[in-house]
Every structure is written in C-alpha cells, then in structure tokens.
Structure 1
Amino acid sequence: MRIQNEAGVLLDIDGTLVDTTYLHTVSWWEALRQAGHDVPMALIHRSIGMGSDKLLDHLLGADRDRSGDHGIRDTHDRHFAGFWPRLRPLPGAAELLRACAARGLRVVLASSAAEHELAALRAALAADDVIDVVTSAGDAGESKPAPDILTVALERSGLDPARVVFVGDSVWDVVAAGRLGIRCIGLTCGGTGRAELTGAGAVAVHDDPAALLAVLDDSPIGGLG
C-alpha cells in the first residue's frame, strides 16, 4: 500500500555512500586470479554495481562453465571482509541522509549488498537513526541492472516511483532506475565518469554526497518536498 503524499530518497550504499568500489575491484581481481582468470582491473571496475552473477557473466561470458562461480564469490567475500575495519563513508554521506530526513523525506537504502556485508557498510555510514527501510541482495529475484531491488524498496517503503529520486554511482544504478521510470542522480565518487552517468540517463551528476548536499534544495531531491 502506498503512503499518500510522502516522498522519499532511495540510495545505493556501495560506492555511493561508502568508499568501496575499488576495494570490490581488488577483491574480485584476486578472486578471479585465484580461479585462473586473468581479468584487467579496469574491466572489473566497470562491472562493479552489477550483481555478482551478472558481473561474472559480463567478465567471463554467459556460456561458460559456472561450476566455479560459488568459489569465486566466496574468495571475493573473504578478501572484501578484510577491508571492513577500514571502511569509510564518502564525504557528506551521513549528512546527506540526515538532511533528507530533516526535509520530511523517507530515507531508503536500496542496497543489493549481501546481508553480512551490509552490516559492515551501515556501521561505517553511522546513520541508522534516519534510515527508514533497508534492502539487501536476498530481497531481489534478479540483480542490477534489473530493477528488482528498487521494486522491493518501493514496496517496503510504500512510496510511489513518481515521488522518489534514486542516488547511485554506477551506470547499472541509472539503468535500473530508468526501467521503473525513477529519476536517478549519479555520483562520480564510485569512479564512473560524468558523461557515462549522464549518457545512461542520470538527471543530474555530482562528485560525491557532499557535493549533492551543497545544492540539495536546487536538486531533484529538493523538488520532492
């Protein structure tokens, strides 16, 4: 059931609010290398933001033998977990969430991170006091760029797609939002360029959460109130 007259902000967390994109890149590179796949880091980086199943399809080919996929994902998870104590929020991340909440907007973490990773990400972000709804990888039938995780986020928050803005850092975030007709603000702090995010359909692009916060009232989020 929709919550009438309420508006909200959906936000990705990996690479958008917490500085993890390159940590994931290194973790996938090591996992792939150990499985005998020599994949350049630049190609891996450009795939970050996809679900792990689609990332492996994208990098290794959809017609490959998938028997080793579980081991590759486990190795990635082990390497990424080694970074957890050093995870840091991106500039202005928690402040952005609190500013949205102060404007009466529902704050929804539309994350496709695994449940065990999400706990570490939320601890680094330190903004649980203003977060209304959180999703994780297990909530989506299909991973990004499919829009499933955003559909779940909308259903749980009770918000209408016309009354929300999604904030993400990857082309895959922008594509997923576009499939539901949701406006997406892109942030380049995940390492994806302004032109790519705009080309994918982002309605605005900023450097990081702090840069978005600085113009919040004049952004698409400012128009939600």
Structure 2
Amino acid sequence: MRTSAIIFDLDGTLLDTLQDVADAANTSLERCGFPARPIHDYPDLIGGGVRHLFRKALPKEAGESDIDHCVAAFRDIYAEHWNDTTAPYPGIIELIALLRERGLKMAVLSNKPHEFTVRCVAAHFPDDTFDLVVGEGPETPTKPDPTGALRIATAFACQPSQMAFLGDSDIDMHTAGRAGMRAFGAGWGFRSKEELLRCGAVAVVDHPRELPPLLERVDGEE
C-alpha cells in the first residue's frame, strides 16, 4: 500500500535540541540541589517527556516532589533558552520539500507540551510546512501511547497502514507499532541504529535524503 502520509518526531528527528535541553536540565538539577549530568547522558534521557527525563536523570533516592521541583525549574529555564542553539538537522528542509512534491500529508507528533511544540515548529519551519502539529496535552498522552498518532490518521482520513512514522527513539518505534504504522529510524538522532531496529524500525536512514527512495522501495515491495 502506497505511503500517503508521514508523522515526524520533533527532538532528535527534525530539530537538534540536545544542547539546549541538556543545558536547561542541568541548570534545573543544580538549582534543585542535584548534580548535573554530562551531555553524553542526554540522548538516553530525552524522548519521553520532561517528567520522564528527570525521573531518569535524578538519583534513585529522589522522590516525586524532587521531580516536581526539577520539572518546574526546567519549564522556566527552557522557556527562555529553548532556541539558543536548536536548529533543523542538515537535509531536513530538503526532505520535507521532496515529500511535499510527492504529495504526502505531513504531521509532527512530540512529547513536548502541545503549545510549546507548535512554538518550536513555527520558529524553524514556514507556516504551511506541516498539515498538523500535535504535542502532549489532555487529549494526547505522551508517546508511546498511540492516541496522538491515531488522531493524526483520522484527521488525514488515512489508514494507519498507509502512514510512515520517522523518529529517533525506542518510544517512536513503539508508538508506530502500536498505531499500526511503519516505523523508520532517524539515524542522525539520539539513539543507536541497533536500538531502533531492535524496537521495530523497518529500516534506519543515516541521512534525510535516504528516506524518499526508501519509501518508494518499501511501497513497491507491498
């Protein structure tokens, strides 16, 4: 079945947010009396939402109130510094243009809060780039819950099997699988190729330019 739509993860897939997230998280940890984490820890911490990040970043003896304090500090700090170094990955703008030429509908699904997801996308992409942008909110639980992905499928009037999902984490691969979509791994993101394949990726692309011909090939095999 030919792919008619694609969902993109945001952090680690469309945008390189690693430095800004790590800086804000480390400032939050130190402000709350905990040690900062080295930046090379953050690829494994990012992807499940901010509470998930601090649940993994804090010492094991930390409690829910510690997480609450860190999350509150992070929201204040990141709101001021979220775009200090963040930028689209090389090749992303060209990828989007190629997929648009092919006629695919395109959406973003992030575990960032919805309003902030919209703000991030608007800062780096023209208004008409994506047909739908969805972040975490009352009607959209964080991934890997498939609710957000399935809402996008309904909005696009697509069967999930007609849709691709490009992401860089195990959470994205599991989201795609639970929604009945084909998962593709972004090899330039935060997790390893081996992890993405183990978690259900049909394939992992090392550069955005590899995705359009891969979709053509996969479509042709079905």
In the alignment, what sits opposite 2:154? 155
* TM-score for both structures, normalised by structure 2: 0.82
**Alignment partners' CA distance in 2, 1:128 and 1:219:** 30
- Determine the structure 1 residue equivalent to 2:12: 15
Q: Which amino acid aligns with 2:172?
A: D
How high is the TM-score relative to the length of structure 1? 0.81
CA deviation profile, 1:93-135 (whole Å, cap 9, x unmatched): 1222222222121111122322343244213432432311111
Identity %: 28
CA 1:119 to 1:141, structure 2 compared with 1: closer, same or farther past 3 Å? closer
Q: When you count strand as a share of all residues, which structure comes out higher?
A: 2
Alignment correspondent of 1:201: 200
Distance in 2 between residues matched to 1:162 and 1:217, nearest whole Å: 13
Q: Which residue of 1 aligns with 2:70?
A: 72
Matched-pair contact (CA < 8 Å) for 1:22–1:45: no
Distance in 2 (alpha carbons) for counterparts of 1:95 and 1:176: 25
Moved over 6 A (4+): none
1:144 aligns with 2:143: yes
- Structure 2: gaps spanning 5 or more residues: none
1:80 partner letter: Y
Instruction: Structure 1: give runs of 5+ residues left out of the alignment.
Output: none
1:19 is displaced (CA, Å) by: 1.1
What is the aligned-residue RMSD (CA, Å)? 2.9
Give 1:50's aligned residue.
48
Moved more, 57-66 or 199-208: 57-66
Decide whether the 8 Å contact of 2:146 with 2:178 is kept in 1: yes
Residue type at the aligned position of 1:13: L
How many angstroms does 1:203 deviate by?
0.8
Q: Give me the whole-angstrom Cα distance separating, in 1, the residues matched to 2:6 and 2:68.
A: 33
User: What is the rounded CA distance, in whole Å, between the counterparts of 1:7 and 1:35 in structure 2?
Assistant: 47
Count matched residues: 219
Verify: 1:172 aligned to 2:171, yes or no: yes
